[in-house]
Amino acid sequence: MATRPERLYEDDFYAWTRDQAAALRQLAARRWNGPLDLLHLAEEVEDLGTAARNTVRSQLQRIIEHALKLEYSPAAEPRAGWLNSIDDARGAIENAITPAIRAEVQQGLQDLYARPRRKAARDLAAQGEKDAARALPQDCPYGFDELLADEWWPANRHGLRDDD
CATH number for position 104: 1.20.1220.20
C-beta of residue 85 within 8 angstroms of C-beta of residue 66 = yes
Residue 154 lies in a domain: no
**pLDDT value of residue 2:** 56
Residue 94 lies in a domain: yes
Residue 154 DSSP code: P
CB atoms within 10 A of CB 127: 16
- Start-to-end CA span in the chain (Å): 52
User: How open is the CA angle 137-140-142, to the nearest 5 degrees?
Assistant: 115
**pLDDT value of residue 164:** 54
Q: Is the pTM of this model over 0.85?
A: yes
CB atoms within 10 A of CB 18: 17
**Phi-psi region for residue 12, left (φ > 0), alpha (ψ -120 to 50) or beta?**
beta
C-beta of residue 142 within 8 angstroms of C-beta of residue 67 = yes
**pLDDT value of residue 163:** 73
Q: What's the domain count of the chain? A: 1
pLDDT along the chain (164 residues), means of 10: 79 95 95 91 96 98 98 95 97 97 96 97 97 98 97 95 76
Residue 157 lies in a domain: no
Residue 82 lies in a domain: yes
Residue 164 lies in a domain: no
Cis peptide before 78 (omega within 30 of 0): yes
Domain that residue 53 falls in: 4-148
